[in-house]
Structure 1
Amino acid sequence: MRKALFFVLLPFVWLATPAQAQKFGYVDTEFIFSKMPDYQKALAEIDKFTDKWSKDIQDKYVEIEKLQRTYQAEEILLTEDMKRDRQRIMSEKEREAREYNNKVFGYEGLLFQKKKELMKAPMELVNRAIEKVAVQRKLDFMFDKASDFVMLYTNPRHDYTDYVMEELGLDAAGKTTAGTTPGAKTTTKPTNTNK
């Protein structure tokens, strides 16, 4: 009964609350990052580390395979003690390879830490620019079109990507505008008409 009364009274309470228009907008951070030289440089660095660590792990497994092949070829000539020693060495090498793989690619491993370190500066630049644009344009909410938040429809007049890119000193072609540094104003005017 009490629950039913709550749902009956809820619409009246909602209607009695003064409606206040809230301004919102969105940006496409994926597009912004794709035009940022610092972000592209960070991605290239991450790829280098990933390739290096992958090669290190692959080399460890190649070494293990060689040991296994040698063991199989010589097994008939080995004493029981020698077999146990070889098997122990191969098991240790496999354990080391697994541990190194987990250390690099596991949860919060070296790759995760490296990504966090290299992406910190570009992410902070974009976040500051988004915040500045939101304050300047008096927005209550700013959504990211590139996030997991599904936007089924977006009206281009609420797109503030150009303003953020202007704040970062980027143009749509991806070059830093001549004579500016990220965070400096450019002379290009965004196409957004939502003032």
Structure 2
Amino acid sequence: MKKTFSRHCLALALGALVFGAQAQAEDFRVGFVNTDRIFREANSAKQAQAKLEQEFARREKELNDLGTTLKAASEKFEREAATLSEAQRGQRQKSLVDQDREFQRKRREFQEDLNARKNEELQAVLDRANRVVKQVAEQEKYDLILQEAVYINPKHDITDKVIRALNSAR
């Protein structure tokens, strides 16, 4: 008799837990935000990209011009190499190697500077987006907002709401 009573109590307790968990799960709201879309579509991200392009345009042009000059000098050397003396050929080769090394150094510095600034700008966009995500989550009573996942059902994607809120916050 005692075993039967304990089994009934256990069954009732498990039933109550399952029912309680199910009721609680229905109240649990989850959302997803695609940060890649925010970086592509939000006005602040587009403005940051335009700012970077403007900021680095002069250096990029100088770098492209330097590369074109180096290529032209290398092609000229290839054409004239047979007619040059051994000393002249060696001197021009050394000069081309030095120019190429300088070009590679400047290109590396440019890329490092561009990446650092891009990271700064994207971090500012992300910080702002996270504040907007938090506002949307609080206003619409979300319990959890994810930014990365292997799979998300599209009905949980709130990226459009966040982008609209970001764009209208200006």
Q: Same fold (TM over 0.5)?
A: yes
The residue number in structure 2 matching 1:118 is 121
- Which of these two proteins has the greater Rg computed from alpha carbons? 2
Separation in 2 of the partners of 1:31 and 1:72? 49
1:152 is displaced (CA, Å) by 5.0
- Assess if the C-alpha contact under 8 Å between 1:32 and 1:161 holds in 2: no
The Cα RMSD (Å) is 3.3
For structure 2, the residue ranges without an aligned partner over 5 or more in a row are 1-13
TM-score (normalizing by structure 2): 0.65
Matched, 1:71 2:77: yes
Aligned residue type for 1:57: L
- What does residue range 24-103 of structure 1 map to in structure 2 within 5 Å? 24-29=30-35, 30=37, 34-36=41-43, 38-49=44-55, 51-103=57-109
The residue number in structure 2 matching 1:10 is none
1:89 is displaced (CA, Å) by 0.6
* Larger fraction in helix: 2
- Assess if the C-alpha contact under 8 Å between 1:32 and 1:165 holds in 2: no
User: Structure 1's 54 and 114: CA in aligned 2 closer, same or farther, altered over 3 A?
Assistant: same
User: Structure 1's 74 and 162: CA in aligned 2 closer, same or farther, altered over 3 A?
Assistant: closer
- Assess if the C-alpha contact under 8 Å between 1:26 and 1:142 holds in 2: yes
The residue number in structure 2 matching 1:104 is 110
The residue number in structure 1 matching 2:8 is none
- Assess if the C-alpha contact under 8 Å between 2:39 and 2:45 holds in 1: no
1:25 is displaced (CA, Å) by 1.3
For structure 1, the residue ranges without an aligned partner over 5 or more in a row are 1-14, 171-175, 183-195
1:126 is displaced (CA, Å) by 1.0
Asked which structure has the greater RCO (Cα within 8 Å, sep 6+), the reply is 2
* Sequence identity (%): 24
